[in-house]
Each structure stands twice: as C-alpha cells, then as structure tokens.
Structure 1
Amino acid sequence: MYKKSKLTTMAALALAGMLAMSGCTSKNDAPAPGAGDSASAKIKVAFVPKLAGIPYFEAMNAGGKAAAADMGNVEWLYQGPTTADAAAQADIARSFIQQKVDSLIVAPNDPDSMAPLLKEAETAGIKVGTSDTDAPNSVRQVFVNQASEEGIGEALTDAIMEPMGGAGKYAIVSCGETAENLNAWIAVQKAYAAKKYPEAELVSVVYAGEDQAKATSMATDLMNANPDLTGLVGECTSSAPGVAQAVKDAGKIGKVFTVGLGTPMSMAPYLKEGSSSASILWDVKALGYLTAWAGVQLAEGKPFAATNNVGPGLDAVTYDEATKTLLLGPALKITPTNVDNYDY
C-alpha cells in the first residue's frame, strides 16, 4: 500500500516497459492516442468525484496526478461539485463531454441519474467508467472498486463489535441515501451481523449527506433517543469523524464506541483519544492512481488482464470480466498504531 515513503518513490521507470510499447509508433504509423510531445496530444482522463474539497477525494486526486506524471502522456482532469448534489455533478460531467476528453470516470452521487450522462459520453466517442462508487446499470466500461463489498461490510461490523463485546444496540450514520457503494456495504453489514452477532441490534440507519457537522448532530440525536446505545458506525469519510466527535462532545468515550470509513489524518485525533476504535478504509491515493491508469487503458483500447501490474504496490490488481471490475485490494484497518503511516 502507498505510505508516505512509497508514494513519493513512484517514478516513470516503474511503468517504462509497459508505456514504451503503447507510446511509440514508427514514422509510417498513425499516432497512437496520447502519442506526441504537445500537450494537446496527451490522453485526457477526467474524474468527477462525489464532492470536491474533502480529504478523501483530494487524496484520490493526488494519486491520479501521480499516475499521470509517471505515465507522461496523460493529462489528469479533476473537478467535483461543492455539495454532494447529483445535478451539480451531472453538470460537471456534461462539461467534460463538451471538452471531448478521452476517458470520463465518475463516482456517482446518484447512479440512476448519472447513467444517461455516461451514455451521452459513450455516444460522443468517450470511454466511460466509474470509480469509488458504481453505476452498475449504466454503460460504464469499468468500475474501479476500492475493496469488495463483503470485505468492507464485514470488516466494519467486526470492528464495531469488538469493543461492544459482540452484543448491544448500535446505529449507522451513512451519507448519500442513493450511493451505490454505501448501500451495498450496509446490506452486507446487516446480513453479516445477523448471522455472526445475534445479540447485537441495529436500531437505525440515518443519512447525513457528505456533511460532517450533520453527522455529528444525527449521532447525538441517536444517543439521546437510545440511552442504551453502545455503538455508532460512520459509513463514509465525513460521517466517521462526525460520529466520533458526537461521542467526544457527549463525554461518552469508553461508553459508546465508534468505527467508520475515515481518512487517516481526519481520524488520527479520534483514534488516539479513544472516541474512535478503528477506521476501515483502503489506500485512497492508490485508488486514484488506479483510476487514472484505468482511464488510459480505456482510451488506448487495451483490455484488462485477469491480473494487472499497474505500478509499485499495485502489481497484482485483479479484474473480473463478468462485472467489469478492477479491484484495488483488501480493506485496510487503521488503528492508533498505524494511523501516522499515512499522509492524507
């Protein structure tokens, strides 16, 4: 995984052998996409996150930039809405279609409303994909998935049940109500907890959007409405610190336990003080790196192999042809002992 010391060591040498074949043409051949020295000849890979300006997607952006720098023939374009709004996200996707980028990859706030935009892009000759969260009923040609649904859902459940002793009442504070990935993880959590932790009770699932302050407020309301609540799960990178902050504000550290999907730097103070027991995530910069690489593969018409050597730390990325899914790898458990290894 990409830690401080590893991400910075990525260099063009890691991908030189692979790119030498794709970036070179003889003088009588038509130039391959991205060939040439001018900026206009670069492969344009555009990524539209759910929300710009939050640590999670800024880390993905950093990874995408690193991949573009390593590959050399790539222009990485990144723009997202300032609120987690499906219509605003669609406007940005539409602008990239008008710019005639080579590949358009989106993390949809609403998969159903994004699907027509992806179709529009495909019709315009643009390669399309999803990353971080999917639009499975769209024409997307690849989904860059951070970890399996089962891996994330089960890891979150085990992480919250450990300090709760496998029993008691808990609640989930999620983010976007229509987010495909969040809802898939929650479904796994419900089924897995019912089977493995029959003495635990999920009392509520609420949705705070991508708003940390709202997540804190909702978590506070859940504790007030359920005085015997002993667990809170923050389902995304804004609600994970949000639920931990609520427990801290209520003076219930050690009485109400929290876990979530939080970025390391945002969770570090909560992990160290004990208001959060663990964060379940993945290497977000690596996800951005893989997203950029996937966009280039699509633009160049290259098929994905069953196992792909993308670069340092990403030398065995699997691809499932049936679901058209690239899988970054297993979920990562972030604790007080390893949180300082990550710089995002």
Structure 2
Amino acid sequence: MKIHHRIAAAAIVPIAVLGFTACASAGGGETGGGGEEAVKITLIPGVTGLPWGQAMAAGGEAAAEEVGGVDFSVAGPANVDPNAAVKAFQQVVSAGADGVVLNELPPELFTRPVEDAEAAGVAVLPITTAPAPDSTSTSFVGDSGFQLGRLGADAIADALIAQAGSEDVTGDIVTGICVPGLSVLTSRIDGFTERMAERLPGVTVLEPFDSKGDPAANFSVWQQAVAANSDAIAMMGPCQQDVQSLVKIKQDSGATWQLAGFDIDDVAVGGVEDGTVVGLFPLSAYLQGYVATRLLAESLVNDEPLPEGWVETPIVAVTADNVDEIVAREASLDAQAEFWKPYIDDIFSSGSVETRPLAEANE
C-alpha cells in the first residue's frame, strides 16, 4: 500500500545525521550566539538502524537546534549490540563530550561506565531504558515498559472478549522475546502478564521463549511456535521483528488468534489497518529524544542541574481509530514535530518539568 511506503521513507530521513556531528549552535559553527564554545552533546539511542532510533535522533537534533549553543551528534550501533554500545559511549566520553543522552541497553552493563563518565565531569541523562537500581544516575526520561505491556494486554483482552461474546475466555497466549533478559523488553511481558491475569483469569500467558534477534531466525522460530500451539488464542512478542513475523504468519494462514505490538513500521501499521493487529503501543521516540536532549542542553548551556527523578513521557497507541493520523505523522520529520508540539508544550509549560521518583521507573 502506498501509505506504507511513505512510512518507510520517513524512517530513513534521520540516517543522514547518524555518526556525524550535527551542529546546532545558535550562532553557527561550533560556538554559541555570544561567542562562547558550544557544549558537545551526543545522543546514543541504543539502536541507530531502526525507525524508533532514527526518530529519537531527529527529536534530539530538533531540541539542540532550538536551545542553541549545542554541538549535537548521534552515535552507537545500528542494531542491538550491548558491547558495541558501551564502546561507543566510552569513545564519546573520551572524545570530550560535555553530555550524553544514553539509552542503556542493557542498564546493568552501563552502570560502571556511566559512573566513570560522571566522575570525569560528563553529564549523562538516561533515556528510554531506566537505569539500574544501583546506578549513580538521578534522572531519567522515558515511558514505562510495564505500562506498555498492560496496554497491550487490554487491547488483546478486549478483542478476545468481543471474539467470544463473553468474558468467560480461556486458553493460552504464546510469548517470545528476541533478547532474553533485556529489561526494556521483559518489563513489557511482565506488564502484559499481570494485566491479562486481572482481565481474564482463565487465560494462561506462557513463559517467553527465545524468539531470536535475527529477522529470518525470528520468523522461523515463530512459525514453529505457532504450529506447536495451534490452539493458542493470542501471540505476544515485545520486539519489532516479533510482530513483523507474526503479522505475515497470521495473514498467510488466516489464523484467528489476536496480536498486539510495540513498534511502528510499515508491516505493523498495515496489520492495524487490515485488522491483523489489534493495536500498537510504541515508545514515543521522537518525543523522548527531544525532551531528554532539551533538558540536558538547557542544563549545560545555563549551568543548571538536571531535574531529579523520572520525567515520564506519554504513550500514544496506534489503533484502527487513529491509524491514518499516525501514518500522516510518520510521513516526515516536519509532521512529527507538528504532532508532538502540544505534548512538548505541556511537558515544559510550567517552566520546570514534573518528575516522579526514579525508583518507580523500575517497577
């Protein structure tokens, strides 16, 4: 479908920024408007090769340009590669960054490198993935993966009830996870499992199997899982490739089990449009990139402390009711900026952002 091609094209736009310095200084070059040297901020989104990582980079660049006096760049691996991400972070710190917006995938691996960076005077603001409980970080910008999972469970529960014509629903839900143990993904499964038990106590959410990160391997193991659980009433995977695989399997087989997802791409959005997917509950990547970069930039430029605690970003679901609006939003960076502006204005309306206790981000 044509609209899917528009989504895919928009997702590629920010790649031009990745790996290069995108100067966002107020006066041009690498100095601020008053002649002072620009502060150097690097965004490490965790994954630069996927649409959400690219949207996060675009939001960060927009914020840096708006604040001014910022030399902004993006770094990190194209795909999930924790060791490469840590290496990229350490290289950015060694290269003289003043601040880093960092998606810690996984947080436990970054605890010591972040502590070392902060001890060296580099400001680090975690984004998307909450820092580990023993981290020295005192601020975080992101949503709740646990809440994303609960929203996915509500969507599937509603669909199952409508399908059965009753709340007396029983059966199994198969779950997989492409990176076992990764907290940003396990929290989605935990939230999903808890909420499903509340909504439909007769339904059993099976323990997640390793659904593999490689797309081809992911598709193969999901084919096997679906075949081995032919009576399952729903499938759930927290990864982008999980939903891409399951959409194709469901469409090709004509299966009636329910499916929800957590990423925006042409396959997943097409699934919402044709009813294969009951809803998508993605992180607000552009918004998170913007908010975190703006907070860090304002802190460094104005020599003020970061707000302590969890700056929670809203979750915007994608359903049959708003899918056309989301397609239009994803068609260009200008459209994304326009869509998220009311949310940005709300977050910064009082002059100081609202925060929640950081510990709650790990619950």
- TM-score of Structure 1 vs Structure 2, range by shorter chain: 0.7 to 0.9
2:117 to 121, 139, 143: 121
Segments of 5+ residues of structure 1 without an aligned counterpart are 5-22, 24-33, 306-320
Matches within 5 A, 1:18-33: none
State whether residues 50 and 79 of structure 2, in contact with CA within 8 Å, keep that contact through their aligned partners in structure 1: no
Q: 1:56 and 1:238, CA in 2 relative to 1: closer, same or farther beyond 3 A?
A: farther
* Distance of 1:68 and 1:58 partners within structure 2: 15
* Distance of 2:39 and 2:228 partners within structure 1: 53
Instruction: Tell me by how many angstroms 1:328 deviates.
Output: 1.0
Instruction: Tell me by how many angstroms 1:158 deviates.
Output: 0.6
Per-residue Cα deviation, 1:143-184 (whole angstroms, up to 9, x for no partner): 111x23453221011112222225421122323223222222
Q: Does 1:235 align with 2:235?
A: no
* Distance of 2:181 and 2:304 partners within structure 1: 32
Q: Does 1:260 align with 2:261?
A: yes
1:111 to 99, 107, 111: 107
* Distance of 1:198 and 1:89 partners within structure 2: 40
1:172 aligned counterpart, secondary structure: strand
State whether residues 139 and 306 of structure 2, in contact with CA within 8 Å, keep that contact through their aligned partners in structure 1: no
Instruction: Tell me by how many angstroms 1:111 deviates.
Output: 1.4
Instruction: Tell me by how many angstroms 1:37 deviates.
Output: 5.3
Instruction: Tell me by how many angstroms 1:35 deviates.
Output: 4.3
Count of equivalent residues = 293
* Distance of 1:337 and 1:236 partners within structure 2: 23
Q: Does 1:45 align with 2:47?
A: no
* Distance of 1:293 and 1:206 partners within structure 2: 39
2:90 to 88, 94, 97: 94
Q: Normalized per residue, which structure has more helix? A: 2
State whether residues 170 and 203 of structure 1, in contact with CA within 8 Å, keep that contact through their aligned partners in structure 2: yes
State whether residues 104 and 128 of structure 1, in contact with CA within 8 Å, keep that contact through their aligned partners in structure 2: yes
Matches within 5 A, 1:152-171: 152-165=148-161, 166-171=169-174
2:207 aligned counterpart, secondary structure: strand
Letter in 2 for 1:78: V
Partner of 2:352: none
Partner of 1:270: 271
State whether residues 163 and 277 of structure 1, in contact with CA within 8 Å, keep that contact through their aligned partners in structure 2: yes
Percent of residue pairs bearing the same amino acid type: 21
Q: 1:301 and 1:199, CA in 2 relative to 1: closer, same or farther beyond 3 A?
A: farther
* Distance of 2:303 and 2:171 partners within structure 1: 52
Letter in 2 for 1:343: E
Matches within 5 A, 1:110-259: 110-136=106-132, 137-145=134-142, 147-165=143-161, 166-208=169-211, 210-249=213-252, 251-253=253-255, 255-259=256-260
Partner of 2:316: 332
2:109 aligned counterpart, secondary structure: helix
Partner of 2:50: 54
1:302 to 284, 304, 311: 304
State whether residues 208 and 215 of structure 1, in contact with CA within 8 Å, keep that contact through their aligned partners in structure 2: yes
Q: 1:266 and 1:116, CA in 2 relative to 1: closer, same or farther beyond 3 A?
A: farther
Per-residue Cα deviation, 1:206-262 (whole angstroms, up to 9, x for no partner): 34454444433332221111110121123133333232223223x134x12210101
Per-residue Cα deviation, 1:290-334 (whole angstroms, up to 9, x for no partner): 1211222443443456xxxxxxxxxxxxxxx4xx211112x2220
The TM-score, its normalising length taken from structure 2, stands at: 0.73
* Distance of 1:241 and 1:63 partners within structure 2: 25
Segments of 5+ residues of structure 2 without an aligned counterpart are 1-6, 8-25, 162-168, 332-363
Letter in 2 for 1:178: G
Per-residue Cα deviation, 1:181-217 (whole angstroms, up to 9, x for no partner): 2222222222222232101111231344544444333
